[in-house]
């Protein structure tokens, strides 16, 4: 190994050693406040959806940089997602349904990064959905927003939140 490569390896190792304590130093009050702030974002999003306020729902996502992952596809673009929600869900309460997030866990990794995993249930007269959200939250400009949103869902039993282990029977 040349002297230059050795210095490079030592420098990289020193960087890892000095950042590890900083990552472990996230204080309990900072993590607790971050979790409370993120839960407030999710509660505001749920309430906005349920009253048909799609711009209010989208306020929880990074604009314009959010990335969406679902149905085996990746898409980006805050505005495109808002347009889709308005077109497909905002026109009627029955089509939009009633959304509820539950079993929420949040891991705060730094003062500006966290991971949320939760279940959701979307109750509506036809095609109720049950699923899981995996969301990366970032604190940008003093506000927690979703930077990446992954959804895995299936058609649930109507009126039965928590049916994630029992998918609905296909129609005959």
- Cβ(157)–Cβ(163) below 8 Å: yes
149 strand-pairing partners: 68, 135
- Cβ(112)–Cβ(139) below 8 Å: yes
Domain 28-155: which CATH number of 3.20.20.70, 3.20.20.80, 3.10.450.50, 3.40.640.10: 3.10.450.50
Let me know how long the chain is: 172
Between CA 35 and CA 154 the distance in angstroms is: 28
152: closest CA among 169, 135, 138? 135
Between CA 67 and CA 76 the distance in angstroms is: 4
Mean pLDDT rounded to a whole number for the chain:
83
pTM: 0.77
Residue 107 CB partners (closer than 8 Å, separation 6+): 114, 115
- Position 91 confidence tier, pLDDT thresholds 50, 70, 90: confident
Residue matched to tokens 């729902």: 57
* Whether residue 170 has pLDDT greater than 60: no
């Amino acid at each position: 190994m040349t002297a230059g490569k050795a210095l490079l390896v030592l420098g990289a190792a020193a960087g890892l050693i000095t950042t590890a304590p900083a990552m472990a130093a996230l204080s309990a009050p900072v993590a607790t406040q971050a979790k409370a702030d993120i839960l407030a974002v999710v509660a505001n999003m749920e309430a906005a959806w349920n009253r048909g306020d799609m711009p209010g729902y989208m306020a929880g996502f990074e604009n314009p940089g959010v990335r969406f992952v679902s149905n085996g596809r990746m898409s980006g673009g805050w505005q495109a997602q808002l347009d889709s929600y308005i077109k497909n869900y905002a026109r009627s309460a029955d089509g939009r349904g009633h959304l509820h997030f539950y079993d929420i866990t949040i891991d705060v990794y730094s003062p500006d990064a966290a991971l949320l995993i939760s279940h959701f249930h979307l109750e509506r007269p036809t095609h109720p959905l049950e699923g899981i959200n995996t969301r990366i939250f970032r604190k940008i400009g003093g506000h927690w927003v979703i930077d990446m949103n992954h959804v895995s869902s299936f058609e649930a039993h109507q009126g039965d939140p928590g049916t994630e282990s029992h998918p609905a029977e296909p129609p005959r």
